[in-house]
Amino acid sequence: MSTRHRSFLNFFLILCLCLIIAGCGDQEKMTNREAEIQEISRVIDSCIGWFKTKDFDLLFSVVAHDSNYLSVHPSNRIVRGFEQFKKNSEIFKRLEFQYVRHEIKDLNINLSRSGDVAWFYCVLNDINTWKGQPANWENARWTGVLEKRDGRWVIVQQHFSIASE
């Protein structure tokens, strides 16, 4: 085999090796993105599911603890900041407010290229009772934004709406 052929073969083998290594890096990134999306899904579910056991620590762990937190509700009520959110959550401690079930449908999560911001859309059925009467959000559209802070995903903004048909 000539020196020229040997050089070409070495170049070709190195190129193939580089492509294989680069492909593995993309696979790792994709796996990490999938793991992040699974964690984001868990955080979204916890934002509603905490009420089953009235686990306020879980609820407070999935929302941003700052004045920029924002939550918009179907009744046009706007909650601004963690302190207001925490104060408004007191009603859920009352025995008259009881969890029945919740369901999140059509969850669509997008992760930013940088991997530290995500946004989502889903349809939510949040079934509860207040003083024995239904207190439900059925087929509510729920959108939100999460940010990864100190290694944890937290909801920084969310919006709930119910179509008037």
The CATH code that applies to domain 3-161 is 3.10.450.50
Band of pLDDT at residue 163, cut at 50, 70 and 90: confident
Q: What is the pTM of this model?
A: 0.81
E strand intervals along 33-163: 70-72, 78-80, 97-111, 117-130, 133-134, 137-149, 152-161
Is residue 44 classed as helix, strand or coil in its secondary structure?
helix
Residue with tokens 């993105």: 33
pLDDT at 76: 84
Band of pLDDT at residue 156, cut at 50, 70 and 90: very high
pLDDT at 124: 98
Neighbours of 150 (CB within 10 A): 5
Per-domain residue ranges of the chain: 3-161
Q: What is the pLDDT of residues 89-119, one digit of tens each?
A: 999 999 999 999 999 999 999 999 999 999 9
Q: Which residues of 69-96 are buried (b: 16+ CB within 10 A; e: fewer)?
A: bbbbbeeeeebebbeebbeebeeeeeee
